[in-house]
Amino acid sequence: MNGLDNVASQLEQMELGLMLRGEFDQNNAILNIHPGAGGVDAQDWAGMLMRMYLRWCDGRDYQTEIVDITPGDEAGIKGATILVTGKLAYGYLQAETGVHRLVRLSPYDFNKRRHTSFAAVDVTPEIDDTVEVDIQQEDLRIDTYRASGAGGQHVNVTDSAIRITHKPTGIIVQCQNERSQHKNREIAMKLLRSRLHEKYRTEREEELAKQRSERLEINFGSQIRSYVLHPYQRVKDLRTSVETGNVNAVLDGALDPFIESYLKMKAKTNL
C-alpha cells in the first residue's frame, strides 16, 4: 500500500509540474510579509506566518535568506522580505499571495478576549539579468542606515544597510542582511527589479482582467485564507474551500494541500 501511495504522490507532483509552465514559475521567489489591522496581534501573526513559510521551505529543501526584517514593537514583525531559492519556488508560492486572517484569544489582551488579525503576503518571482526592466538612476533615492535587529554578532555597527526608493512608483526596497554595503545594494537592486517587473506585469493583466470582470489586486478586505484557533480550530481556504482542523500542522508548514488545490483550480479556470 505504501508503494501505491508513493506512486500516487509522484504522479501528483508530475501533474503539478506540468501545470507550472508560466513564464516565471521555475524562478526563485521573493516573499514579502506585512501585518495589517490588529496592532501587536497582527505583528505577532505576521511573525507566525514567516515561521510557517520557513518551515514549508525547509520541508521542500528550498534555501531561504531573510534579506530584510523589521521586528515588531512587542512581538512578531512589522515586515519581512525572504528570498526563496529552489526549482518552482515561485510557481508554488504564488498561491500564497493575499491576505491571511487569524482569529484567536489574544495573548496580548489582559482580558483574554478574542481578536481578529490580518497579514498580507505578497510573492513575486526573482527576475534575472536577462529580463529587461528600465530603471533610470535619476529615478532612485538611495539611503544608507544602520542595520537593526535583536542583537548578536550578525548585527552591523556601521551604516551598511541600504534602502532604495523608486520615485516614479513609490516602491521601496531595503536590505540589511549582509555586512557589505555593496552586497546589500546589489540585493536591494535585485529586489527592486523584481518588484517593478511584477508591477508592470500586474498592470498589463489588470487591463485584461477588466474585460473578464475580475480584480487581481489584493487588499485587506479580501482574505484568501482563514485560520481560526478559537472557539474551534480550523484553517479554511476561501478560494478552494479546502479546510483542515489540524491548525498546528498548518502553522508548522503543512501547506501543500492548500497550495496544490489552488494551483489545480487556477489551471482549470485559466486564470
pLDDT at 70 over 90: yes
Query: From CA 78, how far away is CA 66, in angstroms rounded?
Result: 14
pLDDT value for 151 = 44
- The answer to whether 242 and 236 are in contact (CB under 8 A) is yes
Mean pLDDT of 174-190: 89
Query: From CA 88, how far away is CA 183, in angstroms rounded?
Result: 25
pLDDT at 4 over 80: no
Mean pLDDT of 204-230: 65
Lowest-pLDDT range of 164-173, 197-206, 230-239 = 197-206
Mean pLDDT of 152-167: 74
pLDDT value for 218 = 40
Q: How confident is the model at residue 213 (pLDDT cuts 50, 70, 90)?
A: very low
Q: Which three cell numbers stand for residue 187?
A: 540585493
Q: What angle separates helix 2-19 from helix 256-269, to the nearest 10 degrees?
A: 50
pLDDT value for 215 = 34
Residue with grid cell 505504501, as numbered in its chain? 2
pLDDT at 208 over 80: no
Residue 210 Cα distances to 22, 217, 262, angstroms: 21, 12, 22
